[in-house]
Amino acid sequence: MIVDVVIPALDEEQALPRVLGAIPRPVVRRVVVADNGSRDKTAEVARAGGAQVVHEPERGYGAACLRALAHLADDPPDVVVFLDGDYSDHPEELPALLEPIARGEAELVIGSRTRGARGGLTPQQKVGNAIACAALRSLYGVHYTDLGPFRAITWEALQRLRLQDRNYGWTVEMQIKAAQLGVASAEVPVSYRDRIGRSKVSGTLRGTLGASAKILWLLAKYAPPVRKRGSRPKGSP
């Protein structure tokens, strides 16, 4: 199984060397760091750590991931693993994330921090996750416990999902569309810790509000249409 890793990174020069150093390299073919106009040495430390670097001028987590995927498309892997560049995930747990895919049981595996983690999640992340997962469950009957960034997905499933979100909605869009399209999903517990360096999303007011609004907007946008009581779908007898 060919596995490539994608790391979106914005000003992560302090954390990135540790992240790259902890990736179990025998399991991974390529590591791509998607740099979003970092003002520090993110790109340099990424290259020094053995990663390929792509640059995305438009800010945003999703935009960075899409740029990295376009780079991988030349010679696609079997599986893409997404990982944050802030050292809050534990890259050494990557093989556990791959197991359900290797066993043929799943095409998408979410690393769940609420099943496994101790510290690291802010109260607003916990609340936001709980609301989003409850919505996914009531809309689609799928049982997720997290929208965590550390996740693995087959290249083939990723193509079917046609992801579009260019910022905070990236993770939830993947889970919504996987549920809609019947992509086989699994969760494995992963560990989590406080990041190194400064948070750009959940640790800032702008990031927290932006992410919450985007997640709710996408859940509403993709929600199945509500049928009025007594109405029948078109064409039914």
Ligand X SMILES: Nc1nc2c(ncn2[C@@H]2O[C@H](COP(=O)(O)OP(=O)(O)O)[C@@H](O)[C@H]2O)c(=O)[nH]1
Minimum separation from the CB atom of position 88 to Mg ion (A): 5
Q: Which residues bind ligand X (CB under 6 A)?
A: 8-10, 12, 34, 36, 59-61, 64, 84-86, 195, 199-203
Cβ burial of 122 (10 Å; 0-12, 13-18, 19+) is middle
End-to-end CA distance of the chain: 48
Choices 60-68, 92-100, 192-200, 218-226 (CB under 5 A): range interacting with Mg ion: 192-200
Minimum separation from the CB atom of position 60 to ligand X (A): 5
Rule CB under 5 A: choose which of 90, 113, 195, 214 binds Mg ion.
195
Answer for the pair 78, 1: CB distance below 8 angstroms, yes or no.
yes
Does residue 38 bind Mg ion (CB under 5 A)?
Answer: no
Tell me which residue of 15, 173, 157, 29 sits closest to 94, measured CA to CA. Answer: 29
The listed partner (Mg ion, ligand X, none) that binds 3, CB under 5 to 8 Å by sort, is none
The listed partner (Mg ion, ligand X, none) that binds 42, CB under 5 to 8 Å by sort, is none
Triad 30, 5, 120: Cα angle to 5°: 145
d(CA 89, CA 117): 10
Minimum separation from the CB atom of position 225 to ligand X (A): 32
Answer for the pair 35, 42: CB distance below 8 angstroms, yes or no.
yes
Minimum separation from the CB atom of position 8 to ligand X (A): 4
Rule CB under 5 A: choose which of 38, 88, 112, 212 binds Mg ion.
88
- Binding footprint of Mg ion on the chain (CB under 5 A): 86, 88, 195
